[in-house]
Amino acid sequence: MSSPHQMTDSLRAHIIARPDLILEDKELMRALVAANEAAMGDNIVDLRGIAMERLEARLDRLEDTHRSVIAAAYENLAGTNQVHRAILRMLEPMTFETFLRDLDGEVAHILRVDAIRLVLETAQDAADPALHRLEGLLAVAEPGFIRGYLNNGRDVPARQVTLRRIAEGCARVYGPAAPRMRSEACLLLDFGADRLPGMLLMGAEDPQQFGPQQGTDLLAFFGGVFERVMRRWLS
């Protein structure tokens, strides 16, 4: 009759037939190494065991890095698809008013932002009755407003894309939605020679949605397409 601590013939035969089951089980391998060290006593250093622990730690780090790279790749792919869908939607409208209303409608929904606003600088009288229909979507400002908005009044070059957290949105731009805004993406727009600049704002109620540590390549691409579409409307 076999002891409870003895290996049965069937278990022994199973291990011999499938040794990979043990080799692929990290917890079981650790137990075997620990039993081997205990059998050797405290006076012997098992270099193989130490090397194995270090290799396991390195493998764990590599697996974590691998997962992070895959997650970042999927996130980037999802963001690219999102921007492409938004651009296709932006190209559909046949009138400027519909174009602007789509920005804060379907385009904002696709990009998962809570508000999109267009700011245009002009040296002319902004009291145009046609602009009242677009109130809340389009903000008209005096020359220099955009640079001051982007740089918070500092005399430094404005970046093409600025991502930042805010205490609340600018009421002049966001209107009634301003108190809810907690982060924003600011896209500086160049409409060509002899034209004042513009700015596209994407506001979010989530303070983590836009921040200076995030990449700007996709938004810069979106801003470049938007510039070209706006040049068509302004011509």
Handedness of CA 147, 222, 203, 140 (dihedral sign): positive
What per-residue confidence (pLDDT) applies to 38? 65
What per-residue confidence (pLDDT) applies to 63? 79
| In contact, 114 and 177? CB cutoff 8 Å | yes
Residue 106 is given by DSSP the state: I
| In contact, 163 and 211? CB cutoff 8 Å | yes
What per-residue confidence (pLDDT) applies to 1? 43
Residues of the chain with pLDDT under 70: 1-6, 33, 36-50, 52, 71-74, 125-135
What per-residue confidence (pLDDT) applies to 69? 73
* DSSP-assigned letters across all residues of 142-187: -TTHHHHHHHTT-SSPPPSEEEEE-SS--HHHHGGGGGG--EEEEE
What per-residue confidence (pLDDT) applies to 45? 55
What per-residue confidence (pLDDT) applies to 37? 64
What per-residue confidence (pLDDT) applies to 117? 94
| CATH top-level class of 83-234 | alpha beta
Q: Indicate the pairing of strand 161-165 with strand 138-141.
A: unpaired
> Which part of the chain is CATH 3.30.450.40?
83-234
What per-residue confidence (pLDDT) applies to 74? 67
